[in-house]
Amino acid sequence: MGGPDRSQARAAFYTRTRVTFEQALELHNRGMIAFDLALGAGAILAPDATLRRLGHAAPSDDARELFRRCGPIWLTFSAAHAVAGARGRPEDWWALAWLRGTELFTDVLWARSPAFKAPRSRAALVGAGLSNLGMAIAFGWKSSKAGAGPRCRRR
């Protein structure tokens, strides 16, 4: 009745909203800025509540302070994601790939702690390791696409 039918409208919607892998990666990067900022701030300002949210039992004093010590590390991750997103230089994406690569097994090891009672908390920590693997590969791809990464010289 005068307007496009539903199939045409649906096709137009999906055509307009198609996202490339690179665009999805940049969107994910923005999400990681917020995630690492929240995790770092939570570790510093409210470690007990943040640990509880992660599924950790009430921490001992030394566990709380060890977790708090990680806050600046996660804030550094947030800053690295922000720099890569803002500048977009290949070397920034390459550095971010390496930074995420350093975190491949840390959460997997932490998941072994008896303070994580719920299987879903342990599974989430293992998932975090897999997520870091995916990010390391994807950010490395993004950097190499623009010419960064390891260089070989011919002599």
1 lies in a domain? no
Nearest-angstrom CA–CA distance, 94 and 33: 17
pLDDT confidence of residue 6: 76
72 lies in a domain? yes
15 lies in a domain? no
Number of structural domains in the chain: 1
pLDDT confidence of residue 153: 40
**Which residue positions in the chain have pLDDT lower than 70?**
1-4, 9-15, 146-155
8 lies in a domain? no
36 lies in a domain? yes
pLDDT confidence of residue 95: 96
35 lies in a domain? yes
Segments forming the whole domain that contains residue 81: 20-145
The mean predicted confidence, pLDDT, of the chain is: 90
pTM for the whole structure: 0.82
88 lies in a domain? yes
Q: What is the DSSP string of 37-91?
A: HHHHHHHHH-HHHHHHHTTBPSPPHHHHHHHHHTHHHHHHHHHHHHHHHHH--HH
pLDDT confidence of residue 25: 96
**Residue type (1 letter), 111:** A
pLDDT digits (tens, 9 = 90+) for 58-67: 999 999 999 9
